[in-house]
Structure 1
């Protein structure tokens, strides 16, 4: 059996709906987000895709998306929650509306912080950091798992070992692996898988609820470059909406 790796951004969360920077806030799915998770499960079912293992972040919007998807598939799948796949910490922007952030920062700085590899938001306060640390999704994590702020390059650094040491060995062993995570942690994974340049990374928009699949080539690489959405038309439309908002 040829192994596959599928990436899925969680369904719409309450913070997505409100247009705020979510980061490490542990927010639930909206009813629309739950429907997106169900639709992703139906896509997998119609393509006869049954994951052998699901790897999620520790945040409940990703965990719940995976639960709903597996319910639709009608199967129990071993699930592993990995903190390195958590969303990027947006620092002092956490909880701020994207409209207010754009107004405060200006268009150029706003886009650089959201889309570039190295743009770094101002750090959050120690009080907010401790509040986040006390949440159910984050309280058992190692000290280094919570930083006051992160650039996308920091997220790339933490997801690369997950790809190399956990995901690729399973795929190369012929397993079908589904990763349910977040806009930025999945962008970081794609950067590692595809060796994305800075311009390519800036243009990458991953919509919620749209499964993106890679296959294992004879060379041991994941192909095709950029992956293949199970529903490319719907994914392209949804990605355009993400881009219009200023990106993931």
Structure 2
């Protein structure tokens, strides 16, 4: 039997409100983000069945989300870090488009940051580890918007760049599993309670 995989995006930060790319910068949750994280814990409580392996990004916005959601993190890992935005860290998409018309994280390079291929490799490595753990128990991953969208795409065998098609709000909960052996997105972006 394979258990379910739960993805939780961290709660709101000041930069998520104003659209600034937040990869390596370690900023805290807003008060609203803390409330969202608590709500994500309530939502998760209605979905979970048993013991879980809990992994978190090392950024404090993810670790704090886990804590407020009532989770005990088994491991903090860079494997769950957000896409490295390189020179675009802290900059909004409209600002980037002033120099690179039409730019998106999904379609264009990121100077001094991660490429889509590098993000794919990292996601696939993490999912290989997660799939092995799912044989014994549920797994909960607390991470970030873009990288979690990559995980969703890779879970169902799509290219990382297909993550553009999935929306994830702060503290949204997604559930991944299988139907008759085929990877499936069972629930996407459930809002916090």
Q: TM-score, normalized by length of structure 1?
A: 0.69
Task: Go from structure 1 to structure 2 and tell me whether the alpha carbon gap of 1:186 and 1:199 turns closer, same or farther (over 3 Å shift).
Answer: closer
SS at match of 1:95: coil
* In structure 2, distance between residues paired with 1:45 and 1:151: 36
- Alignment-derived partner of residue 93 in structure 1: 88
* In structure 1, distance between residues paired with 2:148 and 2:36: 17
* In structure 2, distance between residues paired with 1:171 and 1:98: 36
Offset of residue 176 of structure 1: 1.2
- 2:168 matched to 1:209? no
* In structure 1, distance between residues paired with 2:56 and 2:139: 11
SS at match of 2:142: strand
- Alignment-derived partner of residue 40 in structure 2: 40
The Cα RMSD (Å) is 2.3
Structure 1 range deviating more: 95-104 or 179-188: 95-104
The 4+ residue runs of structure 1 with deviation greater than 6 A are: none
SS at match of 2:141: strand
Offset of residue 20 of structure 1: 1.2
SS at match of 1:178: strand
Say whether the 8 Å CA contact 2:37–2:171 is kept in structure 1. yes
Offset of residue 152 of structure 1: 2.6
Bigger proportion of residues as strand: 2
- Alignment-derived partner of residue 61 in structure 1: 61
1:48-105 deviations in Å (ceiling 9; x for gaps): 55552211111111111111101xxxxx635211111101111111122333223232
SS at match of 2:134: helix
* In structure 2, distance between residues paired with 1:53 and 1:5: 10
Structure index of larger Rg: 1
* In structure 2, distance between residues paired with 1:204 and 1:230: 9
- Alignment-derived partner of residue 193 in structure 1: 155
Say whether the 8 Å CA contact 2:3–2:138 is kept in structure 1. yes
* In structure 2, distance between residues paired with 1:168 and 1:48: 17
Bigger proportion of residues as helix: 1
Instruction: Give 5+ residue unaligned stretches, structure 2.
Output: none
Alignment of 1:1-248 (within 5 A): 2-47=2-47, 49=49, 51-70=51-70, 77-106=72-101, 108=102, 110-111=103-104, 114-116=105-107, 119-123=108-112, 149-164=113-128, 166-173=129-136, 175-197=137-159, 200-219=162-181, 221-222=182-183, 224=184, 226-229=185-188, 231=190, 234=191
Task: Go from structure 1 to structure 2 and tell me whether the alpha carbon gap of 1:230 and 1:205 turns closer, same or farther (over 3 Å shift).
Answer: closer
